[in-house]
Structure 1
Amino acid sequence: MHIEFVNHASVLIRHGNIGLLSDPWYEGPAFHKGWRLLVETDAPEVEALLGRTTHIWVSHEHPDHFSVGFFKRFGQIIRDRGITLLFQEIDDQRVADFLRAEGFTIIFLPFGHAVDLGDEVSVTCIKDEFIDSALSIRAGDTHILNLNDCNVGTIARAQEFRDAVGTCDILLTQFSYAAWKGGRDNRAWRVTAAQEKLCNIAVQAEVLQPRMIIPFASFVTFAHERNHYLNDAANTPDTVVANFQAAPFAVQVMAPGDVTDGTTDPAASAAACGWWRGKYAKASDTLMTYESVQASALEAAFAKWRKRVFQNNSVATMKFAQKFSPVKVLQPVVVELDDLVSSWQIDPPKGTFTRTDAPADLIMHSESLEFMFLNSFGFDTLTVSGTFEEARDGGFSRAARSIAIENLNNLGIRFGMGLLFNPKIIAVILERLRGVSAKMGRKEA
């Protein structure tokens, strides 16, 4: 068994004739010009990599794990070489529909059941929250657990993974935060978020008992002129190594092209830390920007957003909830577009988008708002990219309880009377909002 680090959340696990590649994102920005890789992987390297690959696993739909550009650019090679794709068996078919349309061979992995790939390699997919998944890989006598972005930060949650697949020999896990964490002046939230990631690793190690942890899935930078300040407290490989110097497991940092058979190699890890150090030092050399979008184009984009929202939700229930819900939802949200020097009110139940002088909830660029209107995943992308700011206390929570309605739709949840009586879903949503408010130092959620 060998693990070859490729980039970000992508590794190639080889055993016998099986080569299992994970989450290939190798070039270009992600999250609407919000993120960049610390280093890109050249096309000849990718082509050589695919020559060693028999299966590709995609953990979830986020573009730093499911890269449409990768599958478009290298699709013919994948088809010609008979590489099989692996994806979780879920109701949401957007990723599956794309992969099928591209003509790929796909195995859909049922949660909690081992699937044999051949040559003493089997995989078990584990669901995490709404869209994410982890993969347990048994390659010969070695058990590798790829957690990527999975939210495993409590003993109870880690125990659920252990109950599902047992302890592991090697753990691959995210090591830094990966979304908006307050405004420019709220560095305290980012410091806390970075420390929480290290605490998560400690919890995972305590329960899953790996002998080696490979930190990955965080080799990115916030790379836009509006969000690059978010890098100010991010963990680096050096941070992880320093934090776990006395741990009963080895931290093996890997640079692109590094290979391990599970044997601890402190010299290689130290060299990889140094290599990444150089990449972090240059991360903010070139920042991305947006182009202004005029009001007429925003109104046209909003019309498409309204059409999707009205088709996928009960307008009558939306209006009822806006007026009578004890938790204020679907309230009008005001967005200040600082590049256009204007503010706009979005009222989802009424389906209106109008100029206003009312106090803003959020501040963003017009290109960000257009992107949100044109894409059903737009609000989710905005929160990950972090290219916006709160304009007033509670602005983000207010927006999340209103214009993020398509986040529910993407999970197969229709805003109707049934949702109002589904306490489990409501509890999860409110708990997340409470968490955000706590980090902002407020109680409004």
Structure 2
Amino acid sequence: MQIEFVNHASVLMTHGQVALLSDPWYNGPAFHKGWRLLVETPDDRIRELLSRVTHIWISHEHPDHFSVGFFKRWGDMIRQRGIKLLFQDIDDQRVAYFLRAEGFDLTELTFGKSYELGKDVSVTCFKDEFYDSALSVRMGDTHVLNLNDCAVRTIARAEEVRAAVGTCDILLTQFSYAAWKGGRENRDWREAAAQEKLNNIKIQAEVLEPKTVIPFASFVSFAHERNAYLNDAANRPEDVIEAFLEAPFDLCVMQPGDVTDGRVRPGQNAAAVAYWAAQYDRAGQDLMTYDTVDEDTLRASFAKWRERVFANNSRAAMRLAQVASPIRVLQPVVVHLDDTGQSWRIDPPRGTLDKTDDPADLTMHSESLNFLFSNSFGFDTLGVNGTFEEAREGGFSRAARSISIENLNNLGIRFGPGLFLNPKIVGIFLDRLRGVSARMKRKTA
């Protein structure tokens, strides 16, 4: 069994005749011009890689894991070679529909069920929170657990994972934060978020008992002029090494092309740290920008957003929730566009978009608001890329309880008679909002 690091969250695991590639994102920006890879993978390297691949696993729909551009660019080779695709079996079929429409051989993995990929190779997928999934891979006598972005941050959650798939020999896990953390002045939150990622690794390792931990899925930078400040407290590989100098497991830091069977070669970590340091130092160059969107385009995009929202939710239930819900959902939200100077009041139950002089909840660029209206995952992308600011206390929480309605719809939560049939997801969503509110209030204080 060997693990070859490719880029970011992408590794190639091989054993016998099976070569399983994970989360191929190798070129171009992600999250609406918000992220870039620290280093891109050349086409000749991708071509050579795919010549060996038998299976590709996609952990979740986020574009740094499910890259539409990759599957468009390399679709012919994937189909010609008969490479099989693996994705979680979930109600939200957008990823599955796309992959099938492109003519790929797709298997949707039932959570908790073991699938044989070849001789002495099996995989088991399990769900984590909203979108993420993890993959337990057994290759010969080696158990590799790929957690990627999964939020295994407590002993209790780690024990649930252990109960589902057992301990592991090799653990692959995220090592730095990857979303908006409260504005330019809120460095304390970013430092705390960076430390939390290290604490997560500690908890995961204590419970899952890996012999080797491979930190990955964080080799990116916030790469827009509006969010580059978010890099100021992000963990680097050397921070992970320093945090686990006395750990009972080996830490294996990898650069593109490195291969391991779980053992760390002499000098490997030092070489990888030096390689990534050079990439981080170049990350602040050539930041991306947005282009102003005119009012007519914005109104047209909003009309399509309203049409989708009303098609997937009961307007009567939305209005009732706006008036009667104790957690104040679907309230009007004011967004100030700092490139045009306009402020817009968005009222989802009424389906209205009006200019206003009321105090804003959020400040952003007109291209960001247009993106939000144009895509059902728009608010989720905004929360990750961090190209906005909270304009007043509680503004982000108010917006998340209102104009994120399509993100809830994508999770199977719709305003109607069955709204509370999935209390666990609703609870996670509200818990996240409470955490954000607490951090923002701490900054204000």
Supply the AA of the counterpart residue of 1:157: R
In the alignment, residue 372 of structure 1 is paired with which amino acid? Answer: L
Kept in 2: contact 1:252–1:266 (CA 8 A) = no
Q: What SS does structure 2 have at the residue aligned with 1:144?
A: strand
Work out whether residues 304 and 374 of structure 1, in 8 Å CA contact, stay in contact via their aligned partners in 2: yes
Deviation at 1:177, TM superposition (A): 0.3
2:72 is the counterpart of 1:72: yes
| Cα drift, residue 422 of structure 1 | 5.7
Q: Compute the displacement of 1:442 (Å).
A: 5.3
> SS state of the match for residue 418, structure 2?
helix
Q: Is 1:262 the counterpart of 2:266 in the alignment? A: no
Q: Quote the offset at 1:264 in angstroms.
A: 2.2
Q: Which amino acid aligns with 1:185?
A: E
Question: How many angstroms apart in 2 are the aligned matches of 1:107 and 1:240?
Answer: 35
Tell whether the 8 Å contact from 1:434 to 1:443 is kept in structure 2 after alignment: no
* TM-score normalised to structure 1 length: 0.98
Is 1:169 the counterpart of 2:175? The answer is no
1:363 pairs with 2:342? no
- Separation in structure 2 between the aligned mates of residue 103 and residue 39 of structure 1, nearest angstrom: 30
Equivalence map 1:292-441=2 (5 Å): 292-419=292-419, 423-441=423-441
Shift of 1:323: 1.1
Runs of 4+ in 1 over 4 A off after TM superposition: 420-423
Partner of 1:206: 206
Deviations 1:81-100 (A, max 9, x none): 11000111111111000000
Secondary structure in 1 aligned to 2:13? Answer: strand
CA contact (8 A) 1:146 1:172 kept: yes
TM-score (norm 2): 0.98
Q: Report if aligned partners of 1:437, 1:443 keep a CA contact under 8 Å in 2.
A: no
Please state if 1:181 is matched with 2:186. no
Matches within 5 A, 1:20-59: 20-59=20-59
Deviations 1:379-416 (A, max 9, x none): 00000000000000000000001000111100122111
Please state whether the residue corresponding to 1:440 is helix, strand or coil. helix
Over residues 54-92 of structure 1, what are the superposed CA-to-partner deviations in whole Å (9 max), with x where a residue is unaligned? Answer: 000000000000000000000000000110001111111
User: Equivalent pairs: percent with the same residue?
Assistant: 70
Tell me, in whole angstroms, the C-alpha distance in 2 between the residues paired with 1:156 and 1:403.
Answer: 32
Q: 1:122 to 1:141 in 2, by over 3 A?
A: same
> Residue 120 of structure 2 corresponds to which residue in structure 1?
120
8 Å contact 2:172–2:215 — kept in the other structure? yes
Tell me if the contact between 1:317 and 1:415 (Cα under 8 Å) persists in the aligned partners.
yes
Task: Report the CA distance between 1:429 and its aligned residue.
Answer: 2.0
**Residue type of the alignment partner of 1:182:** G
CA contact under 8 A between 2:336 and 2:344: conserved in structure 1?
Answer: yes
CA contact (8 A) 1:111 1:127 kept: yes
**What whole-Å deviation, never above 9, does each CA across 1:102-138 have from its counterpart, x for those lacking one?**
0011112111111111121110101111221000001
Distance 1:419 1:145, change over 3 A: same
Secondary structure at 1:417's aligned position in 2? Answer: coil
The number of residue pairs the alignment matches comes to 444
Which residue identity lines up with residue 77 of structure 1 in the other structure?
M
Q: Separation in 2 of the partners of 1:389 and 1:108?
A: 38
Any conservation in 2 of the 1:13–1:20 contact (CA below 8 Å)? Answer: yes
Please name the residue that 1:248 is paired with. 248
Q: Structure 2 counterpart of 1:242, which letter?
A: E
Partner of 1:291: 291
Residues 222-243 of structure 1, C-alpha deviation per residue, up to 9 Å, x if partnerless?
0000000000000000100010
- What is the CA–CA distance in structure 2 between the aligned matches of 1:41 and 1:428, rounded to whole Å? 36
Query: Could you tell me which amino acid in structure 1 is paired with residue 314 of structure 2?
Result: S
Q: C-alpha distance in 2, partners of 1:267/1:320? A: 63
Contact 1:335 1:343 in 2 (8 A): yes
| Gaps in structure 2 of 5+ consecutive residues | none
* Runs (5+) with no aligned partner, structure 1: none
3-state DSSP of counterpart to 1:359: coil
Report the CA distance shift for 1:341/1:192 in structure 2 as closer, same or farther (over 3 A).
Answer: same
CA distance in 2, matches of 1:40, 1:178: 18
Q: Which amino acid aligns with 1:371?
A: F
Query: Which range moved further: 183-192 or 430-439?
Result: 430-439
Provide the residue aligned with 2:235 in structure 1.
235
After superposition, the Cα gap between the structure-2 partners of 1:72 and 1:298, relative to the gap in structure 1 and judged at 3 Å, is same
Partners of 2:143 and 2:425 in 1: CA distance:
33
**Amino acid aligned to 1:360:** A
